[in-house]
Chains A and B, each alone.
Chain A
Amino acid sequence: MTELKFVFGDPDICSGCMVCVNVCSMFYSKVIGPTRSRARVVRLEPALDFPLFCRNCEDAPCIDACPESALTRTSKGIVIVNNRKCNGTGACVEACPYNAIHIHPDTGKAIKCIQCGQCVDRCPADAIFTTTTVDLAERDKDGRMMALHEKHKDELYPREAKN
């Protein structure tokens, strides 16, 4: 199968500026607002800033969870939302282990990162990149980035996310 791509970031490099968050909400929703963005940035002490995106899971629990079959994977391996089918029930939000899919407050439809790279191009710190599992293992040889994500998962992916 095609290698699944996703955007990933280095919490030791990310400055926390939220440019990626704003680029995404402006690009897709034509407004500025973290609740309208497909990217999230979470600042944790000590000195960590996590840029967070859809991980493009192989088993994609969001797809299975949707009762309307509004979520599908394209031939390029991207999980997309069919706005005509999505009715905003939020089963995908519940199912996503990475808190990476949300209901857009204005449209009432689910939004998630589709790996378009708009934010990646504009990150002033070069902290984010489009990658695959294999590529990430290569970039993160000593497992530092992954370990940080793993260590803080309870704070990064709260089950009942309020944001």
Chain B
Amino acid sequence: MFGVGGEILWVDMTKGKIEKVPIDDDLVSKYLLGAGYLSKILYDMIPAGTDPLGEKNVLGIATGLLTGSMFPQASRHVVAALSPLTDVWGESHAAGFFGAELKFAGYDAIMFTGASSDPLYLNIEDSKVELLDASHLWGKDVFETDDILRKDHDRTFRTLSIGQAGENLVRFSAIMNDRDRASARSGLGAVMGSKKIKAVSVKGTGKLDVADPKNYLKHMDIFYERMMANPFTPGRVKFGTTSLVEMMQHIGRLPSYNMKQGVFDGYEKISGDAINEKYLVKARADYSCLQRCGRYTAVRTGPYAFEGGAPEFETQSSMGSRCGNDNLESVLFGHHLANQYGMDTISLGGTISWAMEAWDEGLLTAEDTGGIDLSWGNAETIIKLTKMIALREGFGDVLADGSAAAAERIGRGTEKFVMTVKKQEIAGQEPRAQKSMGLAAVTAARGADHLYAFPVLDEAGFDKEIKERFGEQYLPEMADRLSPKYKGIMVKECEDFMVMVESVGLCKYGTQIPPEFYYDDVALTLKIHNGLDLTGAQLQEIGERIVNLNRLFNARFGVTRKDDCLPDRLTKEKAPLGPSAGEVVELDMMLTEYYDVRGWDQETGLPLKETLKRLGLDN
């Protein structure tokens, strides 16, 4: 096959053994690479009853088929394992340069099995691959680790690592790469920590041969022109995702005060405009990225002084509005700290906001928190807790297991304020203001998640794309964010597409929002880059196969329809304020439609026999 590294590194952390295995073309034809390939490998390797932090868990890091290609935003890799936060399928993605570099070294994926008793890191220099002592790195943060590794080896190395949070098995710790890029969700940093893998450093001096070198650049020019001409691109360059604060406030979708409401009085203070006015230093891109959503910001003075990669919308919402915090400098610094320690800012802010609401309700007291004041918007507390969680100090140790586990431990009715699905904190989309997001959060394989489906087609007037992708008969309801109608159909379609995108290593920006590139564009690129002959319809089927396999993985860990639920607040309590006041998420009706189009049993929520048979998953 063209355009790939060609081999997978299997690293047995118990025995310290490294094996190189060619990628399996047959598996690629059924699952592509990236998320799909990992879905299949882990499904075959992780039995029921596995301890996510035990040596039987398997951690995969994989690039997609197009990672390292010249397609716009072909920068991504995926990590997956059984999640220590949700105890179900765990998966997370990041952009950067690590994935492309791994390919240039000749590898498409790294699979870690077993666990070491001493800290090690994997160093890759083309064909030379070795596990090295990491005792000098253990205890160091993500930036220090990157500095040391690139000093010890060479500045041109790319690194992926965990910070103190992953070492301390914080259940929402991230795997970081290229300093400030995060595979944050699902707590896979803790899996890396449990195996005592501090980092992976990689240098590849190789090349990617493409299937159609003669016409390659010609096709890429067309993709580049389309991406650059898309009306979303200038805004993405200017704001990244930060201006979503303003946009979400205006539709009442900005989670505030632990998702009590979808509007926040202080939104302007934490907005994209506010960041650009005073703190933005530069827009930065990842490999092959034309959209430059990466922000490099600086707070020059005061207690929150720093400079580095931060933030994006999710953090403005999770550490800002969700905690009732309008102190922007603390939001920026909090994001920076989370990168430094290696943590998911969504679960971090979600967990702190749960504690703040419990405090507000008088269910948590200074006695529980060790004297820390948890009033809404207390910026100092948010920063203090960020450190304490990463280091598992004091009350931080309770929060380090996530809000669902913390509430279970504390009890006293605090469970009511846990805003999770399958124990993962819901991201920054208040679903009462966009029904598709509510459904997507419950059907996502990794627990609450906006990205598995990323159903943004009803967000900002994509009627034309809806018409193209689904047909006119679903308008206007499908495009109406407050209507639950046809959202099962939409979320299903979006999931199939998005897991396929994660399997080829492209970004959701450019494929889903803006919806510039679709199946046929990916099919064409797989042909000229990899030499694969797959139609758009076949790619869609592969996406469907992956989603079903993820569901089977979760079924093994006990997931059924009963777990596909939202907190009562979102389905029973009407949104109290703002443009979406009075709304609830009509989850049941959407879920029924979703199972129906998925070919899943209405009662169990599991794939029907004929569905599995159709997708070749019946053996």
Contact = CB atoms under 8 A, between A and B. Distances in A.
Interface residues of B, number: 40
Given A19-B290, A26-B217, A162-B156, A31 B284 contact: no
Contacts of A16: 284-286
A131 interface: no
Given A17-B285, A122-B224, A162-B154, A32 B290 contact: no
B292 A17 contact: yes
B397 to A, nearest CB: 32
A34 B435 CA distance: 45
Interface stretch (B205-213, B257-265, B385-393): B205-213
Nearest to B212: A30
Interface string B60-75: 0000000011100000
A66 interface: no
Interface in B285-313: 285-290, 292, 294, 296, 298, 307-308
A125 B290 CA distance: 8
B221 interface: yes
A33 B207 contact: yes
Nearest to A161: B156
Contacts of B205: 33, 35, 105, 163
Interface in B88-107: 97, 104
Given A22-B70, A32-B207, A15 B104 contact: no
A112 interface: no
B228 interface: yes
Given A26-B217, A30-B213, A35 B284 contact: no
B288 A18 contact: yes
Contacts of B214: 30
B332 to A, nearest CB: 14
B153 to A, nearest CB: 9
A47 interface: yes
A33 B206 contact: yes
Interface in A1-30: 12, 15-19, 22-23, 25-27, 29-30
Contacts of A30: 210, 213-214, 216
A31 B207 CA distance: 7
Contacts of A12: 282
Given A19-B70, A26-B216, A31 B209 contact: yes
Contacts of B288: 17-19, 22
Contact of B213 (A31, A34, A105, A155): A31
B207 to A, nearest CB: 3
A18 B296 contact: no
A47 B208 contact: no
Nearest to B209: A31
A42 B97 CA distance: 12
B283 A32 contact: no
A124 interface: yes
A27 B217 contact: yes
B155 interface: yes
Contact of A47 (B104, B289, B307): B307
B532 interface: no
B281 interface: yes
A124 B284 contact: no
A92 B519 CA distance: 47
A17 B289 contact: yes
B431 to A, nearest CB: 34
A124 B291 CA distance: 8
B284 A33 contact: no
B292 A125 contact: yes
Interface string A112-125: 00000000001011
Contacts of A46: 281, 296, 298, 307-308
A111 to B, nearest CB: 13
A67 B292 CA distance: 44
B283 A15 contact: yes
Interface residues of A, number: 33
B285 A15 contact: yes
Given A26-B70, A33-B104, A17 B286 contact: yes
A90 to B, nearest CB: 15
Contacts of B208: 31-33
Contacts of B217: 23, 26-27
A34 B292 contact: no
A32 B284 contact: no
Contacts of A105: 205, 207
A47 B296 contact: yes
Contacts of A49: 284
Contact of B210 (A18, A32, A163): A32
Contacts of B286: 16-17
Nearest to B225: A122
A105 B298 CA distance: 40
A47 B156 contact: no
Contacts of B155: 42, 155, 158
Contacts of A26: 70, 210, 213, 216-217, 220
Contacts of A36: 207
B104 A34 contact: yes
A15 B220 CA distance: 19
Contacts of A106: 207
A163 B286 CA distance: 19
Contacts of B228: 124
B207 A35 contact: yes
A75 B3 CA distance: 39
B213 A15 contact: no
Nearest to B208: A32
A36 B179 CA distance: 26
A105 B204 CA distance: 13
Contacts of A27: 217
Interface string B389-426: 00000000000000000000000000000000000000
A15 B205 CA distance: 22
18 contacts: A15-B282, A15-B283, A17-B286, A17-B289, A22-B70, A26-B216, A31-B213, A32-B3, A32-B68, A33-B205, A35-B207, A45-B308, A105-B207, A124-B224, A124-B228, A124-B290, A124-B292, A163-B205
Q: Which 9 residue pairs across A and B have the least CB separation, nearest first?
A: A33-B207, A15-B285, A30-B213, A17-B285, A124-B290, A32-B208, A31-B207, A47-B296, A163-B156
Given A16-B286, A33-B104, A42-B155, 13 more contacts: A15-B284, A17-B286, A22-B288, A23-B217, A26-B216, A31-B210, A32-B3, A32-B210, A33-B206, A35-B207, A47-B307, A49-B284, A124-B290
Interface of A: 12, 15-19, 22-23, 25-27, 29-36, 42, 45-47, 49, 105-106, 122, 124-125, 155, 158, 162-163
